[in-house]
Each structure stands twice: as structure tokens, then as C-alpha cells.
Structure 1
Amino acid sequence: MDVLSTRGLDPAALPAAVTIERPRNPEHGDYATNLALQTAKKLGVVPRELAGWLAEALTGTGAVASAEVAGPGFLNLRLAADAQGAIVREVLRQGRAYGHGDQFAKMKINLEFVSANPTGPIHLGGTRWAAVGDALGRILAANGGDVTREYYFNDAGAQIDRFVRSLIAAAKGEPAPEDGYAGAYIGEIAAEVLRREPSALSSPDSHEIFRRIGVGLMFDEIKKDLHEFGTDFDVYFHENSLHESGAVAAAVDKLKDSGALYFDKGAWWLRSTEFGDDKDRVVIKSDGDPAYIAGDIAYLVDKRSRGFDLCIYMLGADHHGYIGRLKAAAAALGDDPAAVEVLIGQMVNLVSDGQPVRMSKRAGNVITMQDLVEAVGVDAARYAMTRSSVDSSLDIDLDLLRKRSNDNPVFYVQYAHSRLASLLRNAADLGVEPGDALELLDHDREGDLIRTIGEFPRVVATAGELREPHRVARYLEELAGTYHRFYEACRVLPRGDEETTDLHRARLQLCAATRQVLANGLALLGVSAPERM
């Protein structure tokens, strides 16, 4: 940077990325940075003095109208009108690509989410992951990642056996086994198995028939519900294939050969505490059967063999122990634990009239994805699931999501987009076209709106980096509010016989850019951007 070189200072002391934030108080400027505080010590100068030099250099660029030093060395900046206009032009130039970046370029990412057991319809926890996982996949891809969305189909283990025994009991007209599954869906699937195989109950292969057909029917329904929810997967990976192919045995043998497993009390244990886990894990049980983690280990080997640089697992609240065990498994295999990332989602509760909603039509005491969609629709359900951090439990108010008012967050954002689409249609009917005299946009509300749409790429990048799609939703609500305030203060279209001016056209251009950003943000969440409401 010339401002440093001319003073005999080394520009290399500056960080590769400069943190710039919007101050809470608009009177402090459009943006603020603590760059001088960050680097003054390295350069051997006083922070306020460095900030002054930076202010002088920035005000000479033409993009910054003013730069003021505040406090011990903060720098408050105000953009010039031309620079603000450049933001609007860039939004319209990039269109649907605005907000996209290259943060994860050349990175192959395996994103595994939902992965609900095929023993019943998707419940609310799975619904949350379907919305959040799909949104995260879109955000990672928007940041340049080569994302594969994967569903791990748990078709091995005791839960499948309980499911099959429940189907057989229902087919016989008997109550569900004590450890089995209840709900009307069990009877429906059992009836369909008998319709396809009338002799299923009397066949010596009865268990296998009910397993093959019943699990297939249940999984078909899960995939159908997910598709109707707007969530589709690139890969459906069958757990059972790991056992049938010998992949589990091969992974276990590899760990034995490396000394990562030890034999004790009749079982084989992974030395996972040596790799950061809180306890050693049984991999092969004393009866010779593989424990669940054995499949997880083989599955990780399979993912990495497919060339994925990063494997993200999105798991439910009862899987917190998987963070340590999966990273330990990677390390024990001689792999990089950083290639494994586990996100844990908390519980979801439904309330109506201030009371918990507990009963489902088909699944007994479990609320399903289908129940929620029937109650509020896909858009409201997806948005409600993605607008809060998965680190915290979520209470969804059905009454609120049914409202067509600004109290309903998804309606608030979608209405802003619809309002903008209507405005642009009205302008076309009047023969008013957007104009490029953007230097005329000097009203405070115009500046607020321009700076807010300019924040979108940073929000998308941060949401990808932190794996937090809720940041996009909260940003959209801020943008919708900023637009509504702008619209109340700034007349966009001429009234009556009023002459159309360049200011009208410039504001229309700003509105077109705002509509584009709202549409782009909603698309990242998998929520529609309606033209009319």
C-alpha cells in the first residue's frame, strides 16, 4: 500500500483480509475498520497516526467520501455516491450469481444429512435437518464447493428387525411388539406387503419378504416426502452394502494391523482416547458382531476413497458423542481429523395456542414432516427451520406461521419481494424504465438500502464458513425491513401527471437490485420468491 511505502513502512504487515463492519450507529459512517489497531504494533507506529494516514489515502481514491479517525485508532468511512452506485450496478450485472463466491473452489464436499432410519416417517428433527442441510448445501455450492448431498440409509441392525416384526404383527392383526413401532403407517405398509405378496405370512421367508418390501415402501415414502419438501439427494448410500461388500471387515483389519485396536474382555476396542475421544470404543463385540461404529469407520473410508476433501455429518441431539469418535476414527486410520466435521442439531417442538402439539395422524406420538407441511406449507416450514441456529432447541408456533402478516417472518420477507415485483410491473405499465443516474441516491434511506444489499456476499460467505444458514434468513429479514423503510420515505414512481425524473429511474434501479438480492437469498434457503401474494 503506497501510504505505507512512502513512509518507509512494509505493506506486507497488512493482513490478507481486512475486517470491515457496519457500525451500529449510522452517524459513525457507512463502514468501520480496526485495521490500524491490528497492524500498528507490527509497523512500530501509533494506531491513531496510522489510522490518519489510511484516512488520507482512502479519501483520495474517489470511492470514499470521508474517512474519520475515532477512539484509539478506529476508522469510520462514508462511501462516495459513485461507489454506492457501483454496488447497485454489480447486483444487476451478476443477477442470480450475486452473492456467490469462490471460498470453497476446488473442494469436494460430502454433506450427509437427514439419514433417518427407514422405520417410520421423517419426524421434526429430521425435518429440521432436511431444511438446514439442503440450505447449507446450496450455500456451500454458492461459495464454489463441489457438494454431494448424501443420505445414509440405515438398513442394517436391530432397528430394522424391530420394524419388520412390527409389520408382521400388524399383518396378523396383533399389537406391536413391546420394543416395536406403532402408528397407522405400520398397518398401511403391512397391508401393502400382503397385497403384493398374499402368501407372505405363511412363507418360510416371511421375515425377509416383509423386510424387503416393507423397508422399500417406507424408504420410498421418505424420499417422496423429502422431494415434496424441496430436498433431494445425489447419493443414497446403503449401510448394509458396507457389510455385504466386506468393507467393514477390511476397515477393521486395517485398524488391527496398525495397532489401533486392542483385544480386551472378548471384544476389540478402538484406542480412541489416544486420538482425543472421551473413551475407547468397542468395534467388534464379544459375540463377534460389529458394533455400530464399525460401519461408521468403513463409511468414512468409503467417503474419503471417493475423493471428498471434507465430510460433513449433520446429526441429531442424541449423537453428540459422534464428534469425538468420528474424528478419532479418522486419526486412527491415519487420516486427517480435520476432514471430518460433525454438526449437532437440537430438538424441535411445535406449539399451538401456547400449548405443545404432540399427536400425529399417522405416527402416534411423533409429529412428522408431512404433518408440518400440511399445517403451514413447504415455504413456511423450511424458513422456520432455517432461521435459527441449530445449536439451540427450536419452538415453532403453528399459529404464527399460518398468519399472512408481518409478524410471520417468512411472509415478511416474501411480501417484500412480492411488493418489489409489483412495483416493477407497475413501472413497466407506466413506461418508466430503471435509470443509471445512481449518484442521485443521497437520501439516508437509500444509503441504508444500498449498503444492506452490498452486505449480501459477506453474509453468504460467513454462512458457508460457519455452516450457519440462519445467517442468510436473518439477513433477509433485515433487508426486507430496510426496504420497507426506504419505500415509506422515498417515492419511487411518479404520481398522476408528475413528470418522471432521473431520480425516479435511479430509485427503480435500486428496487430492481433489492428484488434480485431477496430472490437470491430465498433461493439459498430453498424458499420461493413469489411475484404476487
Structure 2
Amino acid sequence: MNPAQLSAAVVDALASLVDSGALVLPDGVPAEVTIERPRQKGHGDYATNVAMQLAKKAGTNPRALGELLAAELVKADGVAAVEVAGPGFLNVSVEAGAQGAVAADIVAAGAAYGRNEAQAGERVNVEFISANPTGPLHLGHTRWAVVGDAIARVLEAAGAGVTREFYINDRGNQMDLFGASIEARAFGEPVPEDGYHGGYVGELAEQILAAQPELREMPAGEERTAAFREAGYSLQLAEQQDVLRRFNTVFDVWFSERSLHASDDVVAGLEKLRSQGHLFDADGALWMRTTDFGDDRDRVLLRTNGVLTYFASDTAYYVNKRERGFDRCLYLLGADHHGYVGRLKAMAACAGDDPERNIEVLIGQLVKILRDGEEVRLSKRAGEIITLEELMDEIGVDALRYSLARYPSDSPLVLDVAEITRASNDNPVYYVQYGHARTCRMMANAADLGMEVPTGEDFDPSLLSHERDGELLRALAEFPRVVASAAELREPHRVARYLEDTVSVFNKWYDTKECRMLPQGDEPVQPVNLARLVLVVASRTVIANGLGLLGVTAPERM
């Protein structure tokens, strides 16, 4: 019996009491109730405070309602005992067979275990990297490359339709400076002072000249600069895409800022806002009256010189997303964008949307990487930035992803290279991955003895009756709820912390002599050995599925 099944049993018990007239609930029976794992041994397998929540509405006290509900709930299949504790908590013990059946359910579900329908029907656009195609992705992009992707993964696991979107800042003066910088390196001339000076610019110049030698003969001027700009753009964007793919972060849409202007989407977006009555002209410029919706000042969209602002592009881009059918537009922005939250919310309101539903902005804090106690700041290739590619090469994809995913993104983070690459149980990613590898080794050992995972009547769940069996089963049963919570709160670090706790429970179970999976010596394989093989397979399934939600591999050997 898992938490969802017990929740349904409690709801059924409440409905039965209401139907019999023993209980009156003016607001009706809740669709579900909260089920928790007790913190102390001896308090049953699960606990709920539903009696405390409903007592006032029912016109009684929590303890009395608890007693009434306990007497009804104990009749449910799989419930062994119900105790009323304290002011009205219900501590529920389930039958070993009902508890053990969780393992078979997990094995049967396989890769689908943990998925749920909590976010079903939601179409979510997750924009979690917005970068210029003028240089390598760097440490500043790395945290969102992990957390944004993990948020998208848990949202999908919770039933939402998700599109991962990368916004390419490919318009404006920085692109022209990029082209001029490459051109200067190609002809051995000084790079513009406010241009791009990293070593990668010279590499791009060499690649472009090798592919387009005719550029050497082209006279200097706007046309030649534009040729270097466009060629550099294509090469740099392709590199960003390749690096992210190797980092296990794959985007569904690479959206070009240029495309907004080329398709007149900016004009169309502004016209829609004008029809909503929130644009006005003043001092020769076009403004959006965002102060109507809590912004600290109104925002300029079109300057007096006829140039559109970045906020105009942002506005048109949001309108474009909504017109593509997304119910919720989720933005993941860096720490230096905190001031954007209010204006983006106000902009959504000006577009006629609900700023508390249709748009959501998350702010991520900075990450520092330490090597030998010193902060890593410089890149051999990119100058004053440390690139994502260099971090991947030095730390490894799995270690870097897991280390960034296991902390709340709104907290500053300091990672030490030596600590997150150490092959030790003190290293969380190693600890969890080794837990998975251990389950795989146990399954291989079982196969060597001819043991096959029992199904149907061949599996007796009541044999998983040891206290450690129950602890592990309850931990595994929590996974779907952890996934749903991570999706709802946009906090994938909950999955990482859950995995660490669950592997700890698994290791304690593994170390318990009474819970050995393999027969000892010349002993024949017994039904209890096969039952525990199911529990091992279920554990492997949960660990693998959890690591998958973080974009981290689940190795079979370490």
C-alpha cells in the first residue's frame, strides 16, 4: 500500500462516515488527504493529520473525529491497525502483504514509476538559457542549464506538456562588434576596444577563412564585416548547441530574437497591447503603462529615435509564446535580473493575462567554483570567463549536473572541484550512483544463481515483513509524491535529496543480515530470497528514474 492508496482509503472511510450520518462535512469529503511517513519508529507505517484539519468543520474535536475515523479506516483492505495519537494524529500500520505489493507495482511500472498526472493538461514553456551567440557558454549559464532542464523533466513526469526554449540574443550592436572582432583577427588588425578578445575569436577567424577563402580578397566594408558576423554566428551557435547536447541538456526550440523583427511579430505584439489600452505616447516615445500593475515605473517600448527597446522584444516574445498555446511561460533568469520580475509580471497583465498564472519568473543565484581553495575565474580559451566545456572536461557531466541540481537555485553556491569529483561516499553523486551500481551487481549475482524476478502468484509480498523491508518499501513508495512536489514547487533538488535518503535506507537494509537477498552457502533459493530480489529491482528502478530526472546517468558498474 503506497501513500496514494492509503489516501484513497482515508477518503473512502470519510465518505462512509458521511453516508451513514455519523459525520457531517459541510464542504464535502476532500478528494485526497495528506499522508506522511512518521519520524519516529513505533508510530506506524504512515500518519495523517486529517482529523485535525476537518474537526472544526465537522463540529467536533480532533481526537473524537480521529477515533471515529480510526474505527472505520481499520476495515480497509491492507490496513492492519490505526492508532489515534496526541491531539488527533492517526498512525496507520499496514499489513506486510499490502506493503510488500509496492515493490511489485514499481517493477511492473519500470521507467514510468514516479510519473503522475498532477500537472496534466498544462502546456508550459520553459525558457532557461538566454545567451548571445558571440562566445562560449560559461559558468553563468551552467546552473540554469542543469536546473532548467531538471525542472522541465519533473514537469513532464508530473504530466505537463513541456517545451524547452533557448532564446538567442542575435540582434543588436553586440553582434556587429562580434563580426568586427573576428574580421580584425582574420586580418591581423587590432580588435575593437569594446569587442571580443578571447582566444576563441582567433579560432573562429581561422575556421571562417578556411571555409570561405574568398573573404581574403573582399574589400573592407560593411559587407565583409557582415560576412564574418554571420559565419561566426553560425559556428558559435553550433558550438553552443553541441556543448549543451554533450551536457545532456537538449532544447526543443532555439528561438531567434531576429525572427521576431523579421516576421513583424514585434509590431503585432505591440498592436495587441495597444488594443488592451495600456500603451501611450509621451515625449515622442511609445510607452507601456506597467505601473497600472505594480511596476515601479512605466516602460519605454519605442524610443524617440525610432529604435525599439529590449523590453519591446521581450514583450513581443511573450505574446508570441502565448499565441503558440502555452498556458504558462516560465522564465529562469540570473541573479542580476531580479528587477525584471515586476516588469515582466506587469507586462503579462498589460497583455490581458493573469500574472500569477500565465507567467512565472525564477531567479537563480551565482555559482563559484573552487580549485585548491581558489576561485576559478579565467579560461585559457575565453579569457575572463570559465566555459561550460572546460567545466565538463574537468569535473565530468554527472558530477557537475548532480552538484548543481541538489541545491535550491535561489541560494548562492560554492563548489569545490576536489570534493565533487572524489570517488567517496562523502560525495553525494558518487553515493547515489554507487547505490544504483550495487543493485545492478546484486541482480547479476542473482541471475548467476538462476534466480528470476517472480511475478504474479510467484511473488509473496507478505514475506517482506522485516522492519528494514518496511522502511525501504515506504521510502520507495514516496517517490511519486516527491516528483509531484518537485514539479509543483519548481524544486528538482528535492529529487536529489530524496535519492540520497533512499540510498541510505537501502544500504541499511543491505547491511542487515536478516534481509539477505541471496541464499547462504549451499542453501536452496527460497521464496523470501525471490521476494527480496523484487525489492532490489524496485530499488534500482527508483534510483535510476530519479537520476534520470536530474539528467544524470545510472551506471551499472563503478
TM range (shorter): over 0.9
Per-residue deviation, residues 232-257 of structure 1 (Å, max 9, x unmatched): 11111110111121111222233334
- Taking a change above 3 Å as real, the CA distance of residues 510 and 316 of structure 1, as seen in their structure-2 partners, is same
Aligned-residue identity in percent: 52
2:120 is paired with a residue whose SS is coil
Tell me, yes or no, if the aligned pair for 1:433 and 1:505 is still in contact at 8 Å. Answer: yes
* CA distance in structure 2 between the aligned counterparts of 1:258 and 1:136, rounded to whole angstroms: 33
Given the alignment of the two structures, is residue 485 of structure 1 paired with residue 485 of structure 2, yes or no? no
Please point out which of 32, 39, 46 is paired with 1:31.
Answer: 46
* CA distance in structure 2 between the aligned counterparts of 1:82 and 1:418, rounded to whole angstroms: 28
Q: CA deviation at 1:321?
A: 2.1
Please point out which of 219, 231, 243 is paired with 1:225.
Answer: 243
Please point out which of 450, 454, 457 is paired with 2:473.
Answer: 450
Alignment partner, residue 426 of structure 1: 445
* CA distance in structure 2 between the aligned counterparts of 1:266 and 1:197, rounded to whole angstroms: 45
How many residue pairs end up in the alignment? 533
Q: 1:365-384 to 2 correspondence within 5 Å?
A: 365-384=384-403
Give the unaligned 5+ runs of structure 2: 1-14
1:315 is paired with a residue whose SS is strand
Alignment partner, residue 258 of structure 2: 240
Alignment partner, residue 8 of structure 2: none
Tell me, yes or no, if the aligned pair for 1:13 and 1:39 is still in contact at 8 Å. Answer: no
2:465 is paired with a residue whose SS is coil
Q: CA deviation at 1:166?
A: 2.3
* CA distance in structure 2 between the aligned counterparts of 1:171 and 1:28, rounded to whole angstroms: 74
Q: CA deviation at 1:62?
A: 3.2
Alignment partner, residue 5 of structure 1: 19
Given the alignment of the two structures, is residue 89 of structure 1 paired with residue 89 of structure 2, yes or no? no
Q: 1:192-207 to 2 correspondence within 5 Å?
A: 192-198=207-213, 199=215, 202-204=219-221, 205-207=223-225
Tell me, yes or no, if the aligned pair for 1:248 and 1:295 is still in contact at 8 Å. Answer: yes
Q: CA deviation at 1:183?
A: 1.4
* CA distance in structure 2 between the aligned counterparts of 1:258 and 1:84, rounded to whole angstroms: 57
Given the alignment of the two structures, is residue 511 of structure 1 paired with residue 525 of structure 2, yes or no? no
* CA distance in structure 2 between the aligned counterparts of 1:357 and 1:224, rounded to whole angstroms: 23
Given the alignment of the two structures, is residue 276 of structure 1 paired with residue 320 of structure 2, yes or no? no
* CA distance in structure 2 between the aligned counterparts of 1:240 and 1:501, rounded to whole angstroms: 67
Q: CA deviation at 1:191?
A: 2.1
Alignment partner, residue 318 of structure 2: 300
Given the alignment of the two structures, is residue 332 of structure 1 paired with residue 350 of structure 2, yes or no? yes
- Relative to structure 2, which stretch is displaced further, 212-221 or 76-85? 76-85
TM-score normalised according to structure 1 size: 0.96
Given the alignment of the two structures, is residue 149 of structure 1 paired with residue 167 of structure 2, yes or no? no
* CA distance in structure 2 between the aligned counterparts of 1:257 and 1:504, rounded to whole angstroms: 71
Per-residue deviation, residues 178-237 of structure 1 (Å, max 9, x unmatched): 322221111111222223333256343122111111111110100010111111111111
Alignment partner, residue 269 of structure 2: 251
Alignment partner, residue 500 of structure 1: 525
2:83 is paired with a residue whose SS is strand
* CA distance in structure 2 between the aligned counterparts of 1:30 and 1:277, rounded to whole angstroms: 49
* CA distance in structure 2 between the aligned counterparts of 1:448 and 1:368, rounded to whole angstroms: 43
Q: 1:79-228 to 2 correspondence within 5 Å?
A: 79-198=94-213, 199=215, 202-204=219-221, 205-228=223-246
* CA distance in structure 1 between the aligned counterparts of 2:142 and 2:152, rounded to whole angstroms: 15
Q: CA deviation at 1:175?
A: 4.3
Equivalent AA in structure 1 for residue 489 of structure 2: L
Q: CA deviation at 1:154?
A: 0.9
- Taking a change above 3 Å as real, the CA distance of residues 47 and 13 of structure 1, as seen in their structure-2 partners, is farther
Equivalent AA in structure 1 for residue 40 of structure 2: N
Equivalent AA in structure 1 for residue 24 of structure 2: D
Per-residue deviation, residues 21-78 of structure 1 (Å, max 9, x unmatched): 1122233222211101111111101110001111111212132222111221111122
Q: CA deviation at 1:168?
A: 2.6
Q: CA deviation at 1:174?
A: 3.9
Q: CA deviation at 1:504?
A: 1.6
RMSD: 1.6
Alignment partner, residue 290 of structure 1: 308
Give the unaligned 5+ runs of structure 1: none
TM-score normalised according to structure 2 size: 0.92
1:325 is paired with a residue whose SS is helix
* CA distance in structure 2 between the aligned counterparts of 1:331 and 1:505, rounded to whole angstroms: 59
